[in-house]
Amino acid sequence: MEKIKRLTVAELLSRHEDLVGKKVDVKGWVRTRRGNKNVQFVALNDGSTIKNLQIVFDLSRFSEDQLRPVTTGSSIHVQGELVASQGKGQSVEVLADELEVYGTASPEQYPLQKKGHSLEFLREIAHLRPRTNTFGAVLRIRHALAYAIHKFFNDKGFYYFHTPLITASDCEGAGAQFQVTTLNPEDLPRRKEDGKVDYSEDFFGKMASLTVSGQLEGELGATALGCIYTFGPTFRAENSNTPRHLSEFWMIEPEMAFYEIEDNMDLAEEFIKYCIRYALEHCADDIAFLEEHFDKDLTERLRFVVENDFVRLPYTEGIRILEESGRKFEFPVYWGVDLASEHERYLVEEHFKKPVILTDYPKEIKAFYMKLNDDGKTVRAMDVLFPKIGEIIGGSQREESYEKLSERIEANGITGMDWYLDTRRFGTVPHSGFGLGFERLVLFVTGMQNIRDVIPFPRYPKNCEF
């Protein structure tokens, strides 16, 4: 073939007015092929956009034999003239001059033949589902959101701070941990005299796990660099088979010195609105596709969140609203209860019809590091609750008093926290932070129903395929 610069479908479509009448070079996978005795039409997709490029094969130039391997799923390279399209549904098409087939895809074996496979079926072939329109759209949006997150924090002067994934502290309490060991399970139990496993022989010389949160190390970063954020994988071994939990998920955890709870809420609201606005501006085609096929209110819901102030409400008020709602909940409501998703969604979807930031939770249901309020009963926690999702962000002002924090650490029976307490021992400052579950954000922006469908290779109980 002639040496001309290959263009992605996205590049070609964005510049099509300049390119009409010129010879173009494109590569991609065949989505469909149809036609008649005179002409065959191929819809070509290369992942750069939800849009397919139509390739026209004139059968006076190409033989049946040449076109036989051009079936759904096969990969091809085409050169030809870009022309204004005569058909409906596309503005331009390529009149093929030359064809190279990279790889065939047997129609008897390639599983993505017809459109409209169920999401459940696609989960079983998660290794191939990125080739579908739906997952292409979701994964492009996921990328755009990840980029927006880095851009937001970078532009604000936050530093991307890398916290460890393997940790020996088991006190975060955010969830059950996966153990990291090179001990051979065949040799276990290898007990000490007191009946405990002897980890001195293990790789790290003590029990180690995968992190459930980078927050504690993030606080070390914030009390040195001012404002930091983490963005990395976290692991929770909780047996939660819900559409909102994964065993491996990505979390963004900003941590800011000199931020009080109000500053923290302002940042969380600005941040999440920025990300959603970024997706609306940069992923319009993909959002439109998902709206058409899965969720007809998607754009409206996204705009609504961007354009309205979040409600800010103390937990105690939230409990009162739930108690007075007259609603029968599956889990009973009373002051002191950890809210279930049904309670959160009642407040957001039915009572306020807006995102809600719930603050000042009872200290018993929140982590030890949260700053105690003057009432001695509640802590400066803040959870951001979203329609259809429930909790999307959890955060707090942190306890900066060495005395109060070490008291709470002791009361919780936690040990080995001296390194963490050094932040309070030396030059302690008021500071705050929060954690956003990345997949919950992607879930919200794509309008998908199940968190397993917004990450390429989901991990959940009894599933570790691919």
Binding site for ligand ATP (CB under 6 A): 174-175, 236, 240, 245-246, 249, 251, 391-394, 435-437, 439-440
Q: Which is nearer to Mn ion, 394 or 433 (CB)?
A: 394
Q: 379, 364 in Cβ contact below 8 A?
A: no
For residue 46, the partner it binds in Mn ion, ligand ATP, none, with Cβ less than 5 to 8 A by kind, is none
Query: Which residue's C-beta sits nearest to ligand ATP?
Result: 437
Q: Does 395 bind Mn ion (CB under 5 A)?
A: no
∠ CA 374-375-376, rounded to 5°: 85
Q: How far is the CB of 263 from ligand ATP (least distance, A)?
A: 19
Q: How far is the CB of 439 from ligand ATP (least distance, A)?
A: 5
The rounded distance, in Å, linking the Cα atoms of 156 and 150 is 10
Q: Does 394 bind Mn ion (CB under 5 A)?
A: yes
Q: Which is nearer to ligand ATP, 439 or 453 (CB)?
A: 439
Q: How far is the CB of 368 from ligand ATP (least distance, A)?
A: 13
Q: Which residue has the tokens 């393997």?
A: 166
Specify the stretch interacting with Mn ion by CB under 5 A; choose among 212-220, 265-273, 283-291, 392-400.
392-400
Q: Which is nearer to ligand ATP, 136 or 458 (CB)?
A: 458
Q: 445, 279 in Cβ contact below 8 A?
A: yes
Q: 211, 164 in Cβ contact below 8 A?
A: yes
Q: Which is nearer to Mn ion, 58 or 338 (CB)?
A: 338
Q: 72, 33 in Cβ contact below 8 A?
A: yes
Phi-psi region of 304 (alpha: psi -120 to 50; beta: other; left: phi over 0): alpha
Q: 93, 37 in Cβ contact below 8 A?
A: no
| Residue 348 neighbours by CB distance under 10 Å | 23
Q: Which is nearer to ligand ATP, 40 or 211 (CB)?
A: 211
Q: Which residue has the tokens 């030059």?
A: 427
Q: 254, 272 in Cβ contact below 8 A?
A: no
Q: 405, 421 in Cβ contact below 8 A?
A: yes
For residue 291, the partner it binds in ligand ATP, Mn ion, none, with Cβ less than 5 to 8 A by kind, is none
Q: How far is the CB of 206 from ligand ATP (least distance, A)?
A: 24
Q: How far is the CB of 143 from ligand ATP (least distance, A)?
A: 18
Q: How far is the CB of 246 from ligand ATP (least distance, A)?
A: 4
